[in-house]
Amino acid sequence: MDQPIDAPTSSPKIEIPSLKSLFIEAYFDDQLLGSATGFLLTKSMDTPCVLLTNRHVVTGRHQVTGKPLDKTHGAVPNAIVIHFHKEGVAHPYWQQIRLPLYRQTGEPYWIEHPRLGAEADVVALNLSWGSDVIRIPYYLEGDLDRKQMVLSPAEPVSVIGFPFGLASHARYPIWATGFLAQDLGFVSPENPKFYIDCRTRQGQSGSPVIAFRVQGARTMRNGKPVASLDPNPTWEFLGIYSGRVNDESDIGIVWHVSVLGELFDAAIADNAARQAAAADT
């Protein structure tokens, strides 16, 4: 389903990260249960894209307690609708793509982390891309989204998503900016998440988290941090936002980008194996 959006009277300057966050709606049949955020991820220009969002978005259950997030009927989603940018039009236009969450066998379509499993609040979905869908992913390789910034506690970070289903314009996201709440050196393969202090709310689950700088940043050079000036905005993709530690706190959880590469590889491998199995039948 296509959704036209009235364009601004003049073409605004839109930062690239604003184009990467995607509005998601969760459904049980035709019943809308809530909204969230997702984004596309790939390794390079030569690799496919997968969609990332939080595990609790597709399960419809609290990540820790397992209780349904829908407090009215206790329903859990069996489909999501993703609002993609549409190719071939000159003004804001979104194409809604509905994805079932379960196969006919009852097996979920989403892929969980191959090592952490259900413990990691992040999943990947493979999509069959049409030529009319614009793909604007975060890249794991190269320096477009990974500048290798040196970041310290109390530095600003942004969660780019859709709080309460709200948008800045049409289906463009809202930037909620807070602060890094810990040293990133504590992130490890066994504990690949970190904390931020940011006033985030429902609907921002699954949002990309970045450090965005408009006047340069610190990077490593010859083993030492060096401050550099850049006339262009620069950013560091840090991970995927997962929610607050509890309703009384603005401390939020981010699953670090280091864990997303493993998930990407698992999703691509799963898709290849299914295609090979289908070709043999």
Grade residue 4 by pLDDT with cuts at 50, 70 and 90.
Answer: very low
Question: Which pLDDT score, from 0 to 100, does residue 215 have?
Answer: 77
Question: Which pLDDT score, from 0 to 100, does residue 220 have?
Answer: 67
- Residue 122 has which token pair? 């992040």
Question: Which pLDDT score, from 0 to 100, does residue 228 have?
Answer: 73
Question: Is the per-residue pLDDT at 197 higher than 70?
Answer: yes
pLDDT digits (tens, 9 = 90+) for 89-143: 655 678 899 999 999 999 999 999 999 999 999 999 987 766 678 889 999 998 8
- Residue 274 has which token pair? 């299914």
- Residue 84 has which token pair? 């993609």
The residue with greater pLDDT, 198 or 278, is 198
What single letter denotes the amino acid at residue 46? D
Question: Which pLDDT score, from 0 to 100, does residue 5 have?
Answer: 45
The region of weakest confidence among 73-77, 80-84, 192-196, 211-215 is 211-215
Grade residue 216 by pLDDT with cuts at 50, 70 and 90.
Answer: confident
Grade residue 7 by pLDDT with cuts at 50, 70 and 90.
Answer: very low
- Categorise residue 144: left if φ over 0, alpha if ψ from -120 to 50, beta otherwise: alpha
What letter does residue 91 receive in the DSSP assignment? Answer: S
Residues 86, 92: contact at Cβ < 8 Å? no
Overall average pLDDT of the 213-235 stretch: 75
DSSP sequence for 52-114: EE-HHHHH-B-TTT--BS-TTT----SEEEEEEEBTT-SS-EEEEEEEESB-TTS-BSSEEBT
The pTM assigned to this predicted structure is 0.91
Question: Is the per-residue pLDDT at 225 higher than 80?
Answer: no
Residues 211, 159: contact at Cβ < 8 Å? no
- Residue 176 has which token pair? 């909620």
To the nearest whole number, what is the mean pLDDT of the chain?
89
Overall average pLDDT of the 168-193 stretch: 95
Overall average pLDDT of the 156-171 stretch: 95
Reduced to 3 states (helix: H, G, I; strand: E, B; else coil), residue 140 is: coil
> What residues does 157 pair with on adjacent strands?
178
- Count of other CB atoms within 10 angstroms of residue 100: 13
Question: Which pLDDT score, from 0 to 100, does residue 74 have?
Answer: 92
Reduced to 3 states (helix: H, G, I; strand: E, B; else coil), residue 123 is: strand
* Residue % of the chain over a pLDDT of 90: 70
Provide the sign of the torsion angle of the four alpha carbons 263, 172, 254, 74, taken in this order. negative
Question: Is the per-residue pLDDT at 227 higher than 90?
Answer: no
Quote the distance between the C-alpha of residue 144 and its chain's center. Answer: 17
CATH dotted code for 142-257: 2.40.10.10
Domain regions of the chain by residue span: 2-138+261-280, 142-257
Name the burial class of residue 219, with classes exposed (0-12), middle (13-18) and buried (19+) by CB atoms within 10 angstroms of its CB: middle
Grade residue 8 by pLDDT with cuts at 50, 70 and 90.
Answer: very low
The whole-angstrom separation of Cα 65 and Cα 159 is 25
pLDDT digits (tens, 9 = 90+) for 20-38: 999 999 999 999 999 999 9
The b-or-e profile of 30-54 (16+ CB within 10 A means b, else e) is eeebbbbbbbbbbbeeebbbbbbbb
Among 125, 141, 134, residue whose Cα is nearest residue 271: 125
- Residue 279 has which token pair? 């070709």
Overall average pLDDT of the 258-277 stretch: 91
Quote the distance between the C-alpha of residue 189 and its chain's center. Answer: 20
The whole-angstrom separation of Cα 233 and Cα 214 is 4
Question: Which pLDDT score, from 0 to 100, does residue 133 have?
Answer: 81
- Count of other CB atoms within 10 angstroms of residue 147: 19
